[in-house]
């Protein structure tokens, strides 16, 4: 009977689970695992990143794009702490993730040893599975359990691995662990389906709200919306569930949403929620009936008073409803929504054609769209870049759009593009990020260069935390602590071995984008955008209007000047 290192047995197990890459940074407390990975480098690619946060954010983004578990690795202590942000992104956006962190040798635990951090305690809140490995023999079985639990609970499984235990030897004839994992969707309940059909047939003004859970049911969602002639609003991470150009599409709902979606919700008599846990109740109809489809029973009725809950997979439920509801050829409510949408798109086009310098972010989005491909993956960051991309980019069902939706962490754009190129090397990857967010992870542009991942990183450079500035204004506060110095990100790109193009005038924008598209190395397009471009809500509600009025009065009283405000025409259109 032969012997094998526990770490090597575990790496074999990873291969059996179909894990083909890991993001991370090696180091003393995890080096035995890294050595085992080195021996299998033809099967599992190791991406050495420049900051552990990028490893866990990339792992989360990989799963958002593929559904397969993302894996990241770091030493214990500081490396483990750096991973936290991407781990919370995975937790909050419900994606399975496996995290391997080193640990000081088992025999020294509790002695206040160098870099000793109680990682099991540290990860308690973020993890659905959180174990310290205590014996070489049980290590593979614990890994197996960790992966299953991460898939089943759609969350983060963490293993803290004392390096001496990873080094331990176990029998090479240990029973083969099964990597078979069958996640069955809950079966649909006939009575619920019947009740839903009746409600849908009765409704005059039904509105569908599609979330990220509807992205696995794009075909079925479209067929259902067309069958009953209902308008479809989407959540932010649901962008792409139905094409932005579909005639029933009425846009996002919420602060970054459209006015027609807001208005449709206000006059709806039936809300049909599909794969969404949408949190902003003020934007939902008041007192409408509601059908909610969700794979997770805990979500039914969580945010809205639900009349009929359908627990199950969105594709299956929508197929049934499409087959059994009465077809509606013409619905006056849909017509009204479409007329409002036509006006909305007209307003958006007026913004997009601004040929000004400094560049209007709206015009930049339109220019990005013109170089994008049929199956582009957009990895969007958090800040005003979220608003411009969500509102102005027309995303189709064949494209992908990912963001840190629940954690809302700045710095997710670049790691998302890295994951996109790993998952789909032949697809175009475009990261859209602000200078504030990009600066948090910019060192990892060199990772994209090192691993030859051609991508386009668009930095909206306004030398400001603009989203926060507008939060301050709408709350009636004065702008404070949101400005920072300029960085020439184009020069930085060149310093990393990539291509950098700084775009300062509108006339240079289109040629720069074409050059970026043609590049076979990663490119940063450092676009100097209008610092006064205000990401106004699609519908300005009374509290926001009051906040802006208070801010204006305060800036006159305290600063003796009136800050530059968005054009009155735009404000009034969105307010009235």
Question: Rounded CA gap, 220 and 316, in Å?
Answer: 8
Of the pair 146, 293, the CB lying nearest ligand FAD is at 293
* DSSP tag of 108: G
Nearest distance in Å: CB 144, ligand FAD = 24
User: Token digits for 196?
Assistant: 């839903």
Question: Rounded CA gap, 254 and 256, in Å?
Answer: 5
Edge to edge, what strands does the sheet with 97-103 contain?
A: 45-48, 21-24, 70-74, 97-103, 156-162, 127-132
Of the pair 187, 425, the CB lying nearest ligand FAD is at 187
Of the pair 34, 217, the CB lying nearest ligand FAD is at 217
Nearest distance in Å: CB 412, ligand FAD = 9
Question: Rounded CA gap, 163 and 32, in Å?
Answer: 6
3-state class (DSSP) for residue 235: coil
User: Token digits for 315?
Assistant: 């594709």
Nearest distance in Å: CB 317, ligand FAD = 7
Count of all residues that appear for the chain in the document: 576
Of the pair 9, 460, the CB lying nearest ligand FAD is at 460
Nearest distance in Å: CB 358, ligand FAD = 23
Of the pair 256, 509, the CB lying nearest ligand FAD is at 256
52 contacts: CB under 8 Å, gap ≥ 6: 24, 25, 72, 74, 79, 80, 82, 83
Nearest distance in Å: CB 312, ligand FAD = 7
Of the pair 105, 408, the CB lying nearest ligand FAD is at 408
Of the pair 138, 319, the CB lying nearest ligand FAD is at 319
Nearest distance in Å: CB 106, ligand FAD = 38
CA distances 148 to 144, 151, 250, Å, are: 6, 5, 38
Query: In three state form, how does the secondary structure of 480-526 look?
Result: CCCECCCCCHHHHHHHCCCEEEEECCHHHHHHHHHHHHHCCCCEEEE
Of the pair 298, 481, the CB lying nearest ligand FAD is at 298
Nearest distance in Å: CB 284, ligand FAD = 11
Question: Rounded CA gap, 239 and 399, in Å?
Answer: 10
Tell me which residue of 24, 70, 56, 20 sits closest to 40, measured CA to CA: 20
Of the pair 275, 358, the CB lying nearest ligand FAD is at 275
Question: Rounded CA gap, 526 and 456, in Å?
Answer: 11
Of the pair 259, 299, the CB lying nearest ligand FAD is at 299
Nearest distance in Å: CB 185, ligand FAD = 7
- In 195-247, beta strands by DSSP E: 206-210, 232-234
Tell me which residue of 195, 201, 151, 209 sits closest to 307, measured CA to CA: 195
Of the pair 305, 370, the CB lying nearest ligand FAD is at 305
Nearest distance in Å: CB 464, ligand FAD = 16
Question: Rounded CA gap, 64 and 60, in Å?
Answer: 6
Question: Rounded CA gap, 338 and 263, in Å?
Answer: 12
Tell me which residue of 273, 274, 248 sits closest to 260, measured CA to CA: 248
Task: List residues binding ligand FAD (CB under 6 A).
Answer: 93-94, 211-213, 216, 235-238, 252-257, 275-279, 293-296, 299, 313-314, 382, 386, 405-406, 408
- The string of DSSP codes covering 55-95 is HHHHHHHHHHHHSSPEEEEE-TTHHHHHHHHHHHHHHHTT-
Of the pair 24, 535, the CB lying nearest ligand FAD is at 535
Which helix (H) or strand (E) covers residue 557, if one does?
helix 542-559
Of the pair 382, 524, the CB lying nearest ligand FAD is at 382
Nearest distance in Å: CB 207, ligand FAD = 14
Nearest distance in Å: CB 425, ligand FAD = 26
Q: Report cis status (omega within 30 of 0) of the bond before 40.
A: no
Question: Rounded CA gap, 13 and 36, in Å?
Answer: 12
Per-residue burial over 478-517, b = 16 or more CB atoms within 10 Å of its CB, e = otherwise: ebeebeeeebebbebbeebebbbbbbeebeebeebbeebb
Nearest distance in Å: CB 293, ligand FAD = 6
Nearest distance in Å: CB 544, ligand FAD = 13
Of the pair 211, 309, the CB lying nearest ligand FAD is at 211
Nearest distance in Å: CB 1, ligand FAD = 45
Question: Rounded CA gap, 571 and 555, in Å?
Answer: 19
86 contacts: CB under 8 Å, gap ≥ 6: 53, 54, 55, 56, 57, 58, 59, 60, 72, 97, 409, 415
Angle, helices 314-324 vs 218-228, to 10°: value is: 30
Q: How far apart are the first and last CA of the chain?
A: 79
């Amino acid at each position: 009977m032969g012997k094998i290192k526990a770490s090597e047995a575990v790496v074999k197990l990873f291969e059996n689970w179909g894990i083909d890459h890991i993001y991370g940074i090696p180091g003393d407390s995890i080096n035995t695992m890294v050595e085992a990975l080195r021996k299998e480098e033809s099967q599992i690619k190791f991406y050495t990143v420049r900051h552990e946060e990028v490893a866990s954010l990339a792992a989360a983004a990989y799963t958002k794009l593929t559904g397969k578990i993302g894996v990241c690795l770091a030493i214990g202590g500081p490396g483990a702490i750096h991973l936290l942000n991407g781990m919370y992104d995975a937790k909050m956006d419900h994606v399975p993730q496996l995290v391997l962190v080193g640990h000081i040798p088992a025999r020294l635990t509790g002695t206040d040893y160098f870099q000793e951090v109680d990682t099991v305690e540290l990860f308690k809140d973020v993890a659905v599975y959180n174990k310290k490995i205590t014996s070489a023999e049980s290590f593979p079985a614990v890994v197996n359990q960790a992966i299953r639990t991460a898939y089943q609970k759609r969350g983060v499984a963490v293993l803290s691995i004392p390096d001496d235990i990873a080094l331990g030897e176990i029998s090479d004839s240990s029973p083969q662990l099964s990597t078979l994992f069958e996640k069955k969707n809950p079966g649909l309940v006939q009575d619920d389906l019947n009740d839903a059909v009746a409600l849908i047939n009765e409704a005059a003004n039904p509105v569908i709200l599609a979330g990220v859970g509807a992205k696995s049911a794009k075909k079925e969602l479209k067929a259902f919306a067309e069958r009953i002639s209902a308008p479809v609003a989407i959540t932010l991470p649901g962008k792409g569930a139905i094409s932005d150009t579909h005639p029933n599409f009425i846009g996002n709902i919420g602060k970054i949403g459209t006015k027609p979606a807001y208005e449709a919700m206000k006059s709806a008599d039936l809300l049909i929620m599909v794969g969404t846990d949408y949190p902003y109740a003020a934007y939902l109809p008041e007192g409408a009936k509601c059908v909610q489809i969700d794979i997770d029973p805990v979500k039914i009725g969580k945010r809205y008073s639900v009349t009929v809950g359908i627990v199950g997979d969105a594709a299956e439920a929508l197929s049934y409803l499409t087959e059994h509801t009465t077809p509606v050829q013409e619905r006056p409510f849909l017509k009204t929504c479409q007329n409002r949408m036509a006006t909305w798109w007209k307003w958006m086009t007026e913004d997009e054609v601004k040929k000004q310098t400094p560049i209007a972010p709206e015009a930049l989005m339109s220019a990005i769209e013109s170089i994008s491909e049929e199956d582009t993956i957009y990895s969007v960051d958090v800040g005003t870049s979220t608003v411009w991309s969500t509102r102005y980019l027309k995303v189709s069902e064949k494209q992908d759009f990912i963001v840190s939706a629940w954690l809302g962490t700045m710095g997710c754009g670049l790691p998302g593009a890295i994951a996109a190129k790993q998952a789909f090397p032949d697809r175009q990857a475009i990261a859209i990020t602000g200078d504030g967010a990009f600066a948090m992870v910019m060192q990892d542009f060199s990772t994209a260069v090192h691993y030859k991942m051609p991508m386009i990183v668009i930095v909206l450079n306004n030398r400001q935390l603009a989203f926060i500035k507008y939060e301050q204004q709408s709350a009636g506060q004065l702008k404070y602590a949101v400005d920072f110095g300029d960085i020439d990100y184009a020069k930085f790109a060149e310093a990393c071995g990539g291509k950098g193009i700084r775009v300062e005038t509108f006339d240079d924008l289109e040629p720069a984008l074409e050059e970026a598209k043609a590049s076979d190395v990663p490119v940063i397009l450092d676009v100097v955008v209008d610092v006064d471009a205000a990401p106004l809500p699609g519908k300005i509600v009374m509290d926001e209007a009051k906040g802006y009025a208070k801010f204006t009065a305060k800036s006159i009283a305290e600063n003796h000047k009136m800050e530059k405000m968005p054009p009155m025409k735009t404000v009034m259109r969105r307010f009235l």
